Each structure stands twice: as structure tokens, then as C-alpha cells.
């Protein structure tokens, strides 16, 4: 008996759903613009954004030239935005701002376009073309609406996006350091700050620039070491001018003292007084190489730990940025 009742209820429910669906399809195919317009808003207010998007979109051509035309365009984009179809919504809002630049919805549509673009950007490891495009569109928005109520939200987006570009540049250059191509690393890291002196990873860039210079010098032939250690010393001073006290500063201080010995003629076997036979010179050289290898191993371990910590910090910042923007968008 119970099974019969359950089957009957399920059949009635299926019939009801089928009837509702058929009614909706009939409305969608009809030319009754007033009924469609009312139903589109009913579905939108009930959170049925897929149906509202379809109905609003079907009204675009029919409402051309009518006072409700911009409203239909705008709520087509809003429906897609609400159902998190950011690709379609961004296209809707871009088209809206081109067709209705003076509409009361223009500022909100322009902002939501920025947000949709922001949602389509990738982490720093991937292609950053969407990031650059979003920054450009936000810049256009700020010029058009300099006193916008969305300024704080857009500021959070810009900070997050700019950090990603800076990280991409920094990590790309540091990759040469990880590969132990210290000459290429030194050049690439220097270039990071030539392109953007305000890179948020500026101090990190200076640190690995100095390390690259030191290890490149330490692996050079004796005749070239003095000149290359002088390059390291210059990079060392650049770093300590911006980070006065840290474990990284203390580590570089130790390298600096060793570099000084070479540049003053007291640390390289070629200049060492009292080294008169080849065997003793070779022993001194092996000792220095062994010491340099230990220092390099220590630096790499510190690098790995710092990278892990940095990744956690950056992931936390990006999550916080997105959450903050979404929280501000809840009122829309």
C-alpha cells in the first residue's frame, strides 16, 4: 500500500514538473513580450537565473527602441552573473556599456564587468594576459567613475592582480638561480627591478641578486674572482640598505667577509702569502670549495623553507582578496 502511495506521489510530482516545464517552454517561444518581461523578473527574484537569462535574452530584439531596452540588456548580464557564468556575463556587460553609456545601470555594469574579468584570471604560475586585461579595464573604469562607490573593491582587486604580475616576474628570474645558472640569474633578477623598481618582491629580488653574484664569483677561475666578488659586494650593499636585520642579512654578512678577503688579496690561493708549493695550494683550494658548497646547500635549504612560507602567505592573501570582493558584492 505504501509503495502504491509513493509511486502515486512521484507520478504527480513528475507530471507537475513536466507541466511547469512545458508552460515555460511555451512562454519562451511566444511573442508575448509583456508576459515574458514579467516572468523574467519573477524567475530572477526567485533565484532561477537560468530561466531569467533565457527570457531576458529573448526580449533583447523585441524591446529594441523601447524604454525597457537597457533594463533587459542589464538583467541579461545580471542573470548570467548570478549563476556565475562570468564569461557570458562579462560579454553582456561589455556590450551593455558600449550600447548604453548613459544608462543609470552603466556604472554598475562597468564594475561587474571588472569583477567578471577578475574571476577569470589565473594564479601567477599561469598565463597573465587575463590579469593585464583586467588591470587595463579597471583603469578605464577609474577614469570614467573617479568617485565610484566601488573604489574600495576595485582597489583590492588591483592590489591582488599587481602582486601576481610582480610574483610572475620575480619567480621567472629566480628560476635561473634554482637551475644554478648564476650568471643568467643575476642578469634576470637585475632586469626585474629595471622593469619595475616598485616590485613588491623587491627585497627578495635584491637578496637573490646578491647570492647569484656570490656563487658565480666563487665558481669562477682565480683570475676572474676578484672582479666578480666586487660585483657581489655592490649587490650586498644594495640589499642591506633595504633590509637591515634578518637571518638573510646575517647570512650575506658571512659571505661578504669571505668576499672581502679575496678582494683584498687574503682569501684567494693565488694571492695567499706563504703558499709556496702546489700541494698546499690545492689543499687550500679544496677547503674553500668545500666551504662554499656547504654555504650553497644551506642557502638552498633556507630558500626552500622561505618559498613554502611565501606560497602559504600568498595563497592566504589571494583567498582573502577574493572573499573581501565577494562580500562587498553581496549587496548587488
Q: Look-up: residue for cell 635584491? A: 206
The pLDDT of residue 173 is above 80? yes
Hey, what CATH topology would domain 30-165 get? 1.25.40
CA distance 216 to 228: 8
Phi and psi based region of residue 273 (left: phi greater than 0; alpha: psi -120 to 50; beta: remaining):
beta
Residues 52-66 have a mean pLDDT of: 92
C-alpha to C-alpha distance for 47 and 326, rounded to whole angstroms:
18
Note the pLDDT of residue 271. Answer: 44
How many CB atoms within 10 Å of residue 199? 19
- For 184-241, write each residue's pLDDT tens digit: 999 999 999 999 999 999 999 999 999 999 999 999 998 899 999 999 999 999 999 9
Count of other CB atoms within 10 angstroms of residue 65: 6
Alpha-carbon distance 185 to 288, whole Å?
A: 23
Beta carbons of 161 and 134 less than 8 angstroms apart: yes
What pLDDT shows up at residue 278?
53
- Cβ–Cβ under 8 Å, residues 136 and 158: no
pLDDT in tens, 252-263: 999 999 999 888
Amino acid at each position: 500500500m505504501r509503495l502504491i502511495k509513493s509511486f502515486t506521489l512521484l507520478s504527480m510530482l513528475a507530471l507537475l514538473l513536466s507541466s511547469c516545464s512545458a508552460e515555460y517552454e511555451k512562454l519562451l517561444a511566444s511573442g508575448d513580450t509583456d508576459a515574458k518581461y514579467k516572468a523574467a523578473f519573477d524567475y530572477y527574484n526567485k533565484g532561477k537565473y537560468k530561466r531569467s537569462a533565457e527570457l531576458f535574452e529573448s526580449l533583447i530584439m523585441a524591446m529594441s527602441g523601447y524604454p525597457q531596452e537597457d533594463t533587459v540588456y542589464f538583467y541579461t548580464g545580471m542573470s548570467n552573473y548570478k549563476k556565475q557564468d562570468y564569461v557570458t556575463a562579462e560579454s553582456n556587460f561589455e556590450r551593455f556599456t558600449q550600447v548604453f553609456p548613459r544608462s543609470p545601470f552603466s556604472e554598475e555594469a562597468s564594475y561587474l564587468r571588472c569583477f567578471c574579468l577578475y574571476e577569470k584570471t589565473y594564479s601567477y604560475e599561469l598565463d597573465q594576459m587575463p590579469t593585464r586585461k583586467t588591470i587595463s579595464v579597471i583603469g578605464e573604469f577609474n577614469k570614467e567613475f573617479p568617485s565610484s562607490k566601488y573604489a574600495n573593491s576595485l582597489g583590492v582587486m588591483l592590489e591582488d592582480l599587481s602582486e601576481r604580475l610582480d610574483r610572475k616576474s620575480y619567480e621567472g628570474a629566480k628560476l635561473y638561480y634554482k637551475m644554478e645558472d648564476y650568471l643568467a640569474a643575476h642578469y634576470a633578477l637585475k632586469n626585474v627591478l629595471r622593469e619595475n623598481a616598485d616590485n613588491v618582491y623587491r627585497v627578495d629580488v635584491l637578496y637573490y641578486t646578491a647570492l647569484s653574484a656570490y656563487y658565480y664569483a666563487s665558481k669562477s677561475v682565480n683570475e676572474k674572482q676578484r672582479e666578480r666578488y666586487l660585483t657581489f659586494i655592490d649587490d650586498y650593499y644594495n640589499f642591506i640598505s633595504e633590509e637591515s636585520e634578518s637571518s638573510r642579512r646575517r647570512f650575506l654578512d658571512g659571505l661578504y667577509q669571505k668576499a672581502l678577503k679575496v678582494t683584498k688579496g687574503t682569501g684567494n690561493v693565488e694571492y695567499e702569502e706563504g703558499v709556496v708549493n702546489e700541494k698546499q695550494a690545492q689543499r687550500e683550494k679544496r677547503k674553500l670549495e668545500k666551504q662554499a658548497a656547504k654555504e650553497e646547500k644551506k642557502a638552498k635549504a633556507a630558500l626552500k623553507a622561505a618559498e613554502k612560507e611565501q606560497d602559504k602567505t600568498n595563497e592566504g592573501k589571494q583567498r582573502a582578496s577574493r572573499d573581501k570582493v565577494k562580500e562587498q558584492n553581496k549587496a548587488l
